[in-house]
Amino acid sequence: MTETPFTEAERDAYIAAASALLALPVDPTWKPAIGANLTVLRAAAELVASFPLPEEVEAAPIFTA
């Protein structure tokens, strides 16, 4: 899996949608930093998603107290 960078317009649209959904106002001066973090998080998610797991791997059980 290769990283496909976000365009600036895509990042801004995602930031606007997520902040509206969460009712979290975002100062416009923070958009570049938020965009940089989203790029790093996307790269990390792609790394995890690209790791092959054998078919015999089972999900961990859920433990409750």
Res. 3: pLDDT tops 70: no
DSSP, collapsed to helix, strand or coil, labels residue 41 as helix
Res. 1: pLDDT tops 60: no
Res. 2: pLDDT tops 70: no
Q: Would you say how long the chain is, in residues?
A: 65
Token output for 4: 């496909």
pTM exceeding the 0.95 threshold for the entire prediction: no
Give the model confidence (pLDDT) of 12-52 as tens digits: 899 999 999 999 999 999 999 998 898 889 889 989 889 88
Res. 61: pLDDT tops 90: no
